Amino acid sequence: MPRRVVITGLGLISPLGLTLEDNWSSLIKGVSGADFISSFDCSSWKVKIAAEIKNFDPCCLPGKKKSIKLMNRDSQLAVAATHSALEDSRLNRNEIEPSAIGIAFGAFGIQYMLEDAYIVAYSATGRKITWINESEEPKCLNPIWPLTILPNMSLCHIAIAHNIQGPNIAFCSLATSGAQAIGEAFKLIKCGEADIFIAGGCSTLNPSYIFSLCSSGLLSDEKSNPSAACRPFDKKRSGFVMGEGAAVVILEELSHALRRDAPVYGEVIGYCSSLQGNTLLSEKQSFETRVEGVAICLKEAINQAGINPKDIDYINADGKATFISDWVETEAIKKVFGSYAYQLSISSTKSMMGHLLCASAPAEIVVGALAIREGVIPPTINYQHPDPCCNLDYTPNHFKKREVTVVLSHTIGLSGENAALLLRRFS
Amino acid sequence: MKRRAVITGLGMVTPLGIGKEETWRNLIAGKSGIEKISRLSPEEVSVTIGGEVKDFKANHFIKDRKALKLSFHSVHLAIAAAKLAVDDAEVKVEEINPTRFGCFIGSGGGGYEDGPGFPDLVEPLQKSWSEEKGKFDPVKFGTNGITSTYPLFLLKTLPNNAFYYISLFYNIQGENDNIIASFTGGSQAIGDAARAIIRGATDIAIAGGYDSLLLPATLFSFNHLKLLSKNPNPEKACRPFDANRDGMVLSEGAGMVIIEEISYATKRGAHIYAEILGYGNSSSAHHLYEPCPSGSGINIALKKGLNDAGIEPSAIDYINADGIGTTLSDRAETYAIKNVFGSDAYQIPISSTKSMMGHLGTGAGAAELMICTLAMQENVLPPTINYEIPEPDCDLDYVPNQARSEEIHTALSINQGLGGQCTCLIIRKVS
């Protein structure tokens, strides 16, 4: 009998809250997590709005206090989200071999702060700074710096803090890496590599990435009203709002979960990740190619799940609120679902959380799992001006009660990657 | 019939040479590739020795000038290794179905080589320095810095840069992964590629890793964490398993292999080096940069690998150890090997080729697997050089100082990374 994979634990830290409950209540209330940037002085920057996590205190993390110092903020969020997911799954760690649990994690590229970049850049040109005189402030770099910026470090810290010794793999494809982490963990459990996987992703706000995403014209140009900045599918959408967060799901082989009477949120039934083209600057691609790329990914995931497109009730869309991407996504949904597209409930929770980058797909899977449990579709907020090109049911501004059996969670990367995951109510 | 993954092409760029022939010749001669680092001045960094790839000309391997400009030195090494592997496998890329051609690359987190795009940021960052505050000022960056920034700098910093160019140059559209890991990325990529081939997702793949650790920030940091050898004599500095070992020596390099499904390889008449038989992957969950004293991570990885291969520990004829040359790590590794192999541990020749090449970072796993492959083909074991004084805790057969002729059918390569990631790969002769 083929092995089946279910989700038995959720952990989410986002601009909307530090716990699952806080996140869910903000989501159904339609609260926005976006605000003026407070973590650095951006008064001269073009971008002034982001969705930051407030009140997160790394001191309450499990594990040794000393290791918290070795973590960057990404890893801190990842370890904390893993902690809540493990608690939520009610896994009795005393009964499970540390090597029976694996980790698949999506993380950003190297995470460096501009201050550190300055020091390293300066030295790279062979000027002035020496690496010998360590006392000469401020031109001294924290010696563990190269270790803190590595993208696989969140994974290592999770392993260390939670004593996870099984297979591990880190993904690094920006927006889709979190979805790939969950999808690959799903495959690995299916083929018997482990019974349990911790899968998810994390991202934090980094000025240098804000700057480069802004210069690519992807960020919202809203200046004065933070909560109205991210407007997916709305005619006046102008881009997304950067967010930070970490989201983790515990994936478990079905019989393992049933044996220990675990809470089951849903079953992962399909996954596809694909590249739609071979160019780094996907803006140059034609509209049709892009629609086709997204549609292929959705179709393949549905095929793999062996279900009918009409079985799907809710799409947690990518909806990153850039003009072209939302339109492409809408067209692709129409292409795959035909006339049924108009009966689907669709929403973009990025309208509230902001774009959590590597954590966005896992966060949206968490939202999907909760939507199944609660029978409620969270809204797309800031939807005020209908766009004739985007005319599906985006669950505008208010949540909607609807029995949800199958959720499709879909992510479009910034350079042509696509990933789709399907989650079904377990019965 | 069960699908099998075999190695048909080897491409390596290491401090011991460009290409497998030169590297192998130096390896069995017991030559060290460690020298004074020529491209860094001692005024900059207190670490002066490392394994540089010598006489490497990027434009010899990369004709696309834009690609040269938009990528770092380590990515150039990766592209060169991929080219060597493709040439070695004598595969006609245009005859491969692009959607059945996979690409699995391990990278150490992108070019934080010279900093992530940092040379491009020097000027803008200088303009953002606040003399009053004595530090970087984001407000100044917004007004003066941004306008003078090279707009494509971010592309260079992406950790999948090498992956992108390799898949572009060889028109690879099939199953792919870009794995990020410190040091184990290359072996993870090869392990995953073999699995993708076995489960039928792809028929042929380029897989491997690349890195350059010879960067001021990395050298500074590793030195500060007391991981590096203080030995001033470059050739003698890396002494794995020797009683006087005092740390790692950092290097740069890349290793790429061509892996194919066995029937695919036989059909096109390819030379088959070896079959990838088993892969194990685990985490020691102990500390960010200190090894777990019991070697538990390696222990688990070894057991998983042997189990995956479906063989007994005694079937292993040669181990290419991680053997980085620090007191703690070599001891833990020896301990783990003894734990898994029992009394057989004393019969199995083990060598650490890092004694000659230094640590290739994420390129290490791939390069060392290729060394196993070559050892198997030539039936010669490369030595562990600088092994002079035995230590009671490290009392196995480390093939000291001299290469040795021995029949090898099955070989094992072990790798460990920062953060406790551990891998092992097992290969076997195909008869």
**Residue pair B241/B282 in contact by the 8 Å Cβ criterion:** no
Residue among A115, A122, A152 minimizing CB distance to B135: A115
| CB contact set of A30 (below 8 Å; sequence gap of 6+) | A352, A378, A379, A381, A397, A398, A399
Hey, are the CB atoms on A159 and B285 less than 8 Å from each other? Answer: yes
Mean pLDDT of A403-407: 97
* Residue A382 predicted with pLDDT over 70: yes
For strand B204-212 and strand B101-107, is the pairing parallel, antiparallel, or unpaired? parallel
Hey, are the CB atoms on A126 and B44 less than 8 Å from each other? Answer: yes
Quick check: helix, strand or coil at residue A353? helix
* Residue B237 predicted with pLDDT over 50: yes
Hey, are the CB atoms on B119 and A121 less than 8 Å from each other? Answer: yes
Between vectors from CA A269 to CA A179 and to CA A188, what angle results, nearest 5°?
Answer: 65
Hey, are the CB atoms on B140 and A44 less than 8 Å from each other? Answer: yes
The pLDDT tens digits for A93-105 are 999 999 999 999 9
Cis peptide before A151 (omega within 30 of 0): no
Residue among A121, A163, A275 minimizing CB distance to B121: A121
Q: Extract the tokens encoding B206.
A: 């380029």
Hey, are the CB atoms on A278 and B139 less than 8 Å from each other? Answer: no
Hey, are the CB atoms on B179 and A112 less than 8 Å from each other? Answer: no
| CB contact set of A320 (below 8 Å; sequence gap of 6+) | A218, A232, A239, A240, A326, A348, A350, A355, A412
Query: Among candidates B178, B118, B30, which has minimal Cα distance to A127?
Result: B118
Query: Among candidates B386, B381, B377, B383, which has minimal Cα distance to B427?
Result: B377
Hey, are the CB atoms on A45 and B157 less than 8 Å from each other? Answer: no
- Please check whether residue A96 touches B, CB under 8 A: no
**Residue pair A77/A250 in contact by the 8 Å Cβ criterion:** no
The pLDDT tens digits for A165-193 are 999 998 877 788 999 999 999 999 998 88
Quick check: helix, strand or coil at residue A268? strand
Q: Extract the tokens encoding B380.
A: 């010669």
Hey, are the CB atoms on B118 and A120 less than 8 Å from each other? Answer: yes
- CA A90/CA A325 separation, integer angstroms: 39
Q: Which residue of B has its CA nearest to A281?
A: B155
**Residue pair A349/A394 in contact by the 8 Å Cβ criterion:** no
For strand A345-347 and strand B318-320, is the pairing parallel, antiparallel, or unpaired? unpaired
Hey, are the CB atoms on B112 and A146 less than 8 Å from each other? Answer: yes
In the structure, what pLDDT confidence band is assigned to residue A133 with cuts at 50, 70 and 90? Answer: very low
Separation of CA B191 from chain center? 13
Hey, are the CB atoms on A122 and B122 less than 8 Å from each other? Answer: yes
| CB contact set of A51 (below 8 Å; sequence gap of 6+) | A14, A15, A32, A33, A34, A35, A241, A242, A243, A244, A353, A354
Residue among B44, B139, B284 minimizing CB distance to A131: B44
Is pLDDT larger for residue A382 or for residue B126? A382
Q: Which residue of A has its CA nearest to B127?
A: A118
Three-state SS string across A129-185, please? Answer: CCCCCCCCCCCCCCCCHHHHHCCCHHHHHHHHHHCCCCCEEEECCHHHHHHHHHHHH
- Rounded to two decimals, what is the model's pTM? 0.89
Which CATH class, in words, describes the domain spanning B5-113+157-428? alpha beta
Centre a 10 Å sphere on the Cβ of residue B431 and count the other Cβ atoms it contains: 5
* Residue B148 predicted with pLDDT over 80: no
In the structure, what pLDDT confidence band is assigned to residue A118 with cuts at 50, 70 and 90? Answer: low
What pLDDT score was predicted for residue B56? 95
* Residue A299 predicted with pLDDT over 50: yes
| CB contact set of A314 (below 8 Å; sequence gap of 6+) | A344, A345, A346, A347, A368, A371, A377, A402, A404, A406, A407, A408
Q: For residue B118, which residues of chain A lie inside 8 Å, CB to CB?
A: 117, 120-121, 124
Give first-to-last CA distance, chain B, whole Å. Answer: 17
- CA A220/CA A241 separation, integer angstroms: 6
Query: Among candidates A200, A75, A194, A105, which has minimal Cα distance to B300?
Result: A194
**Residue pair B41/B113 in contact by the 8 Å Cβ criterion:** no
The alpha-carbon gap from B402 to the nearest alpha carbon of chain A, in Å, equals 36
Question: For residues A46-69, b (16+ Cβ closer than 10 Å) or e, as one string?
Answer: ebbbbbbbeebeeeebebeeebbe
Rounded to 5 degrees, what are φ and ψ at B44? -85, -50
Mean pLDDT of B4-17: 97
Residue keyed to tokens 């290097």: B251
| CB contact set of A247 (below 8 Å; sequence gap of 6+) | A11, A12, A13, A14, A81, A178, A200, A201, A202, A356, A359, A362, A363, A365, A366
Q: Domains of chain B: which residue ranges?
A: 5-113+157-428, 119-155
Q: For residue A171, which residues of chain B lie inside 8 Å, CB to CB?
A: 177-180
The alpha-carbon gap from A355 to the nearest alpha carbon of chain B, in Å, equals 19
The answer to which of A204-213, B3-12, B151-160, B370-379 has the lowest mean pLDDT is B151-160
The answer to which of A266-275, B20-29, B43-52, B120-129 has the lowest mean pLDDT is B120-129
- CA A296/CA A269 separation, integer angstroms: 17
Is pLDDT larger for residue B130 or for residue A325? A325
Average pLDDT, chain A: 88
Hey, are the CB atoms on B180 and A122 less than 8 Å from each other? Answer: no
Residues 249-308 of B with CB under 8 A from A: 281-289, 296-297, 300, 304
Residues 160-189 of A with CB under 8 A from B: 160, 162-173
* Residue A222 predicted with pLDDT over 70: yes
- ipTM of the shown complex: 0.84
What pLDDT score was predicted for residue B119? 62
- CA A164/CA A185 separation, integer angstroms: 14
- CA A194/CA B331 separation, integer angstroms: 29
Residues 378-397 of B with CB under 8 A from A: none
Mean pLDDT of B281-301: 92
Query: Which DSSP string corresponds to A191-205?
Result: TTS-SEEEEEEEE--
Hey, are the CB atoms on A170 and B180 less than 8 Å from each other? Answer: yes
Q: Extract the tokens encoding A110.
A: 């190297």
